[in-house]
Amino acid sequence: MSQHTNGRKVIANINISIDGRYAAPENPIDMSWVIPYATTDVGRDHMTNFWKNATTAVLGRVNAEGFLGFWPTMIGAEGVDPRDEAFAQWLVDVEKVVFSSTLTEPAWDRTTIENRAAGEAIAELKQTDGGDIVVLSSASIIKALLEADAVDTLSMMIFPVFLGGGPRLFEDGLPSAEWSLTSQATSENGAISLVYDRIR
């Protein structure tokens, strides 16, 4: 059956190209290839669906700096889509866990810095009270959790581009696993929203 275990659900959210990459080879932090697809109705609804039941956001340091540098500026800005503003407000207000081996003090409110292995830290977090735990596009954390078979839901947007290089999300050697498709949608510009639950 396609149910996750009791307690908090771990949702891994990420955008990938159809050649399986989550970042461009020449500039891994350049997300310009994502914008045309993430800003569609399908992209925005996809985003809303993964955070609406979540009470913890998990990020790596680089993504934390990017997300928390950008999204709060959307709050109250003129012409912002209400779904974008709602996500921005949630991100500001939600409990955040940032994985970093270099940070010692959080630069953001409601943030805990974590320097342990992702699988260990997330397993401990799952035992606490709360809603879903969302890993926001932080591939190194998602990879570690996939290796530990600790992801309950894969929330992906697949964009109709070849990046032609760059890091892959799914590496050889992952434990075998079966997934159940729970949601799918296709945008007008060819992006696909896919949500899979781990069958346990």
What are φ and ψ of residue 22, in 5° steps? Answer: -110, -5
Reading phi first (left if > 0) and then psi (alpha if -120 to 50, else beta), residue 173 is in: left
In angstroms, rounded to a whole number, what is the distance separating the alpha carbons of residues 58 and 64?
9
Q: Which two tokens stand for residue 98?
A: 């940032």
DSSP calls for 63-124: HHHHHHHHGGGGTT-TT--HHHHHHHHHHHHSEEEEE-SS-SS-SSTTEEEE-S-HHHHHHH
Domains and CATH numbers, the chain: 10-199 (3.40.430.10)
Contact between 94 and 54 under an 8 Å Cβ cutoff? The reply is yes
The answer on pLDDT for 5 being more than 60 is no
Q: Each residue of 99-127: pLDDT tens digit?
A: 999 988 888 999 999 999 999 999 999 99
Query: Does pTM surpass 0.85?
Result: yes
- Report the DSSP pairing between strands 95-99 and 54-60: parallel
pLDDT of residue 27: 83
User: pLDDT by residue (tens digit) across 167-176?
Assistant: 999 989 999 9
For residue 121, give both structure tokens. 């830290």
* Phi-psi sector, 110: left (phi>0), alpha (psi -120 to 50), beta: left
Tokens of 124: 């401990």
Q: Quick one: average pLDDT of 130-134?
A: 97
Q: What is the mean pLDDT of the chain?
A: 92
In angstroms and rounded to an integer, the radius of gyration of the C-alpha atoms of the chain is 16
pLDDT of residue 194: 97
Q: pLDDT by residue (tens digit) across 11-41?
A: 999 999 999 999 998 887 788 899 999 999 9
| Residues 29, 32: Cα–Cα separation, whole Å | 9
Q: Where residue 197 falls among pLDDT bands split at 50, 70, 90?
A: very high
β-pairing, 132-136 vs 111-114, is unpaired
- The token duo for 123 is 């397993």
